[in-house]
Amino acid sequence: MPQRTINPRNIICPFPSCGRTFSSKGGLTNHRRTHQTPRREPPGQPHPPTPPSQDLEPGFDMDDHLVEAVSLPGRAPSVVEEPNTNPPKAREKVEFHPYINGLPCDAEGTFLPPGAPPPPWDYPPPDDYSPFTNRPSFELADLIFRKDKMSAGNINELLQIWASTLPDDEDPPFINKQHLYDTIDKIELGDAPWHSFTVSFNGEVAEGDTTPWKRATYDVWYRDPRVVVTNQLKNPDFATEMDFAPKEVRDENGKRRYCDFMSGDWSWRQANELAKDPQNHGATFCPIILGSDKTTVSPMNHCLVLADKEHADSVEFRKFRRNLFHGSLNKILQTLRPGMEKPEILRYGDGYYRRTVFGLGPYIADYPEQVLLACVVQGWCPRCDAPWDNLDHTAGRRSHRLTEALFETIGTKALWDDYGIIDGIMPFTHGFPRADIHELLSPDLLHQIIKGTFKDHLVTWVTAYIQEVNTPADAKHILADIDRRLAAAPSFPGLRRFPEGRGFKQWTGDDSKALMKVYLPAIAGHVPPQMIRALSSFMEFCYLARRSVLDEDDLIAIDAAVANFHRDRVAFDDVRPDGYSLPRQHSIVHYTYMIREFGAPNGLCSSITESKHIKAVKEPWRRSSRFEALGQMLLTNQRLDKLAAARVDFRARGMLREPIFGELVEPEPPPLETLNEEEDDDGGAVDDDVLGEVLLAQKPIPNLPRTAQELGTRLNIPDLRGRISRFLYEQDNPDLDIPLDDVPLSACPQFEGNIRVFPSAISIYYAPSDKSGVRGMFRERIRAVESWRKGPARYDCVFVERDPDLPGFRGLYVARVRAFLSITHNKVKYPCALVWWFSTVGDSPCPDTGMWMVEPDFDQTGNRAMSIIHIDSILRGAHLMGVSSGSQFIPHHLSFSHTLDAFRSFYTKQKRKPPQRYERSQRPTDEAEDAWPELKTLKDSLMKDEAAKDPWR
C-alpha cells in the first residue's frame, strides 16, 4: 500500500484557547515560544473577578443577603471583595455594585442558588458540523473564503481541478462557488441579517424646485443591534472577559485605580439609577458602546454621495443631512429600547442566564463626528460650552436639559453665536433612558492626542518656528539635521525607524507614536528651552493617558502635565498669532474627568473603529464586482461573521481539538528556561499571567569557543576569566561592601567550566499600556550580536536594578550588553550578561526635556568599564538617544548602528514631573442668563455637579 506523502498535522497545541495543530513537535515548540508563556502570577495583578453571585443567597430582596464588606465613602457596601493570592504589597481590592450585580438565573429569570452549575447547552451531536457535511468541508470553506479570500472564478477552477482527480461517482465538498456560498449562508450561528429602510426629504418642496437631493430616496442598511449584542454576549470566547457588575478597584493602600470600562464612575452611576427600581436588583447592566468612523473604499470611490457640489454647502441640505444621520441612528437603536426599561433574560458565554438591562454607553468618534453627534457648530467643544475662540476658558458641561432650555429661551442666531448649538435638532440619544451624547463622547487618543495635538499641531509648529526665525538656507540646514538625528536613533524592539527623518507623505497613527519617542531629543538645541519644555509636558501627559491602568496619582500628574503645557506653549506665539483655541488640543483638559468616568482611554480610542476599515470595508470592496457593491460588501461581512461563529461553536463543543487525520499526540511542554520566541521577533503583548523576568534565548551562537581563555580572545576581552571569577564571588557574597574590582582574584573562585554565548534574551515585565496584553504584561527582545540581519553589530542597552526602594530612574543603572552568557560552575548554570556601564550626568533630569542623561564609563586604562551581571538584575531594555547641542550637527555619514559609540552622552528614561494644581479663570455671565434667571440656575446646578467630579472646573 503506498505511503502518504503529506505529513499529518496530528499534534495539537495543549492550550485550551488555541486549537492549532502541527506536523512535528518542533513546529509546536516554535509556536509556543512565539505566542505563549508559562502561567505565573505577575506582581500586582489580581485573579479574574469572582462573580458576585457566589456571595448572595437566591431571592429578590438584595438587602437581606448583603455580606459584610469594606464600605467606601459615598457608596453602598460591596457584595464581594475580590480574592487575591498576591503578596500584600500587590494586593488589590475590587468592590462590585451591591444591587446591579449580574446574578445567574434560569431561563425564566429565577435566581440560581450560589454555586449552582449553568443549565446545559442544547448542543447537536458531537459529529454534527451542519450545515457542512463534515469537518474537512468546514475547514475548506473557512480556508477559501476567510483566510485566502479566493475569488469566485478561482473557487470554481479549484473545484473543477479537484473533481477531475476523483472517481466519476464522487464530488468534491462543494460543486461550485455558489454551493459554497449557499452552505455558508445556511449557518445559523452568529446570524445577524442586514435590514434596510428608505428615507427621503419630507419638507415642503416648492413648485419648480428640481434640487436632486430633495426628490431622491436613500437606503440605510443596518443590522439589528439587539441581535448583534446577544450574539456577542453568548459567545464562549468572551466568557472569561466580562464584568457582570460595575466595580471599584483600589490598590493595597486604598487608592482608586481606573482600568477597564466597568471600573469607571459612569457605569456605577448608571447602576445606581437602575437600582432605584427593586425589580432591577440582581440584573446585569450591559452598556452598548457605539462608534463610527468615515472611510473610503478606494482613492476614487465613496460609499455614498448625497448631494452634488452645487447644493452640498446649502443650509437646507446640511440640516437634512443631520436629520438623516440622527433619525437613522434613533430608528436603528429602537430594538434595544425595551431592554433599557425592563430587564431581558439573556444567555451568556459562561452558560448562565442573566437579567440584562441595556443602556447607551460611550460613543467612539473623532472630532468631526463628535460635532455631528453633539449637534454643535464646528470649532466648539462637544462636551462643554466654552466659547470657540477661547476654548480653555472655564465653562459648564453641555447637556440635553440645557439645550432644551436654550431652545425655549433664545433664538437661532444666539444659539449659534453664543453657545455653538445648531437650532432645531436634538442628538439621537435624546429620548433614550439615561442617555446624553454630551456625557457619552469618549476620549480619542488617536485623533485628539497622537495625530492631532502632537503631529498636526506641535510638530508642524516647530517646523514653522524654525523656518520663521532663520534664513531659508539655515532653516533647511536645521531641519535636515533634525531628520538626521531621527535617522540616527538606535534600534529598539518595536520602534519604527525614520531613515529619511520626517520626510514621508502618508502618516499613520503608528508613525506618530514612533516619532513621539524620538522627537524631543532630535529638536533639543534647535528651538528655545521653553518650547522643549512644552513638548516635554505634553509627552508626559500623552504617555500617562495611554496607560491601561491609572491611579489617582496618575490623574494628578496628568493635570500637572497639562498645566505645564499650557504655561509653556506660549513659546509658539510667533507661529500661533490667533492663539490656541483648537478643539482637539482643548480636549486634553477633559481627560482626567473622562478617565474617572470610563476607565483608561485605551479601551475607547478611535483606533478600534479605524482598525476595522480594512477588514470591514476595503477588503469586502475589493472582493465585490464594483457594481452596486454595497450589498455585496455587506453579504461578505455577514458570511465572515458566520464562519467565525461556527468555528467558536465547534471549538466549544470540542470538535476541533482532534487533528483532521492521524493519531492524536499530546506533547510534553518545553522547559520554562527555554520558552522564548523566534530570534527575529522583537516581542509584543503577553496575555498570560507571568512574573517579570529575563530569559536567555533557547539556542546559543554556534561555533564559538567554550573556554574562558579562548572565548576572551575571540571577543577581545583578555581578562574574561578574571571577570567571571569575580562574578562568581559576587554570587556567593551578595552583601559585598567594597567594589567588586577591589576583590583580589586569589580570593575568587577559580573558573574552569564551560561558557555558552547567546544572541539575545527576552525581558517580560509589567507595563500596562496600549501595546500590552490583557494583564498589562509586555515582552521585548534584547540583542547582543556581532552582526544583525547581515549588517553591523547590535548591542542593546538595558536598565539594571540598583535600589528597588528608590523611585523611578534613581533606582536604576544603565548598561549596554556586550554578550549574553551561560556559565557553568560546580554543576550550576548562571545566566548572565557581560555589560558596559553608563553613569548618570548630574543628580536630576534635564530641566528642559525632563529626561535623564547618561554617559559611558571608562576604566583607568581608557577602556569601557565592564563587568558581568546576573540577568535577574536586568529589568528591561533601555533606549538611548544621543545628546547634541544646537551647534553640533549630525554628520551625514553617521549610521544608526554607530550612534551608541559616537556620542559622548545620551538621553534616557523620562522622569515624571512633580504633580501640582493650578486655578483657571471664571467665564463671565452671558446675557441670556441675565434675561432668564431659571437658565442661570440650571447652568449653575450643572456646573456645580461637574465641579464635584472634574478638578478642572
How many angstroms separate the CA atoms of 81 and 55, rounded? 10
pLDDT confidence band for 74 (50 / 70 / 90): very low
Q: Are 683 and 677 in contact (CB under 8 A)?
A: yes
Peptide bond into 131 cis (omega under 30): yes
pLDDT confidence band for 937 (50 / 70 / 90): low
Of 130-139, 159-168, 593-602, 766-775, the one with minimum mean pLDDT is 766-775
Q: What are the grid coordinates assigned to 14, written together?
A: 495543549
Q: pLDDT by residue (tens digit) across 163-196?
A: 999 998 888 999 999 999 999 999 988 888 889 9
Q: pLDDT by residue (tens digit) across 873-883?
A: 998 899 999 99
pLDDT of residue 459: 93
What is the maximum alpha-carbon separation in the chain? 108
Residue 35 has pLDDT above 90, yes or no: no
Among the listed residues 433, 264, 428, 427, the one whose alpha carbon sits nearest the alpha carbon of residue 343: 433
Among the listed residues 719, 700, 697, the one whose alpha carbon sits nearest the alpha carbon of residue 708: 719
Burial 619-640 (b: 16+ CB within 10 A, else e): bbbbbbeeeebbebbbbbbbbb
Residue 154 has pLDDT above 60, yes or no: yes
Of 16-25, 149-158, 271-280, 420-429, the one with minimum mean pLDDT is 16-25
pLDDT of residue 4: 43
∠ at Cα 896 (892, 899), nearest 5°?
90
Among the listed residues 578, 229, 591, 583, the one whose alpha carbon sits nearest the alpha carbon of residue 374: 583
pLDDT confidence band for 122 (50 / 70 / 90): confident
How many angstroms separate the CA atoms of 48 and 42, rounded? 13
How many angstroms separate the CA atoms of 953 and 951, rounded? 5
> How confident is the prediction for the chain on average, in pLDDT?
80
Full DSSP string of 692-710: SEEEE-SSPPTT---SHHH
Find residue 285's DSSP bridge partners.
Answer: 357
pLDDT confidence band for 763 (50 / 70 / 90): confident
Question: 553 vs 316, which has greater pLDDT?
Answer: 553
Q: Please state the length of the chain.
A: 953
Helix (H) or strand (E) holding 219: strand 217-223
How many angstroms separate the CA atoms of 40 and 775, rounded? 11
pLDDT of residue 25: 60
pLDDT confidence band for 2 (50 / 70 / 90): very low
Strand bridging mode 881-882 / 906-910: antiparallel
Question: 932 vs 351, which has greater pLDDT?
Answer: 351
Question: 17 vs 582, which has greater pLDDT?
Answer: 582
Among the listed residues 490, 480, 539, the one whose alpha carbon sits nearest the alpha carbon of residue 512: 539
How many angstroms separate the CA atoms of 260 and 266, rounded? 12
pLDDT of residue 548: 86
User: Torsion over CA of 837, 839, 845 and 847, rounded to 10 degrees?
Assistant: -120
Report the SS3 class of residue 824. Answer: strand
pLDDT confidence band for 502 (50 / 70 / 90): low
624-638 mean pLDDT: 84
Question: 210 vs 176, which has greater pLDDT?
Answer: 176
Q: pLDDT by residue (tens digit) across 303-312?
A: 333 444 555 6
| Residue 487 main-chain phi, psi, to 5 deg | -70, -25
Q: Are 640 and 146 in contact (CB under 8 A)?
A: yes
pLDDT confidence band for 206 (50 / 70 / 90): confident
Q: Are 45 and 10 in contact (CB under 8 A)?
A: no
Report the SS3 class of residue 51. Answer: coil
How many angstroms separate the CA atoms of 561 and 952, rounded? 13
pLDDT of residue 952: 35
Strand bridging mode 284-291 / 353-364: parallel
- Range among 138-147, 765-774, 928-937 rated most confident: 138-147
How many angstroms separate the CA atoms of 139 and 127, rounded? 14
How many angstroms separate the CA atoms of 302 and 312, rounded? 15
Helical ranges in 410-528 per DSSP H: 412-414, 437-440, 460-469, 472-487, 509-523
Q: pLDDT by residue (tens digit) across 715-759?
A: 999 989 999 999 999 888 888 778 888 888 888 988 888 899 999
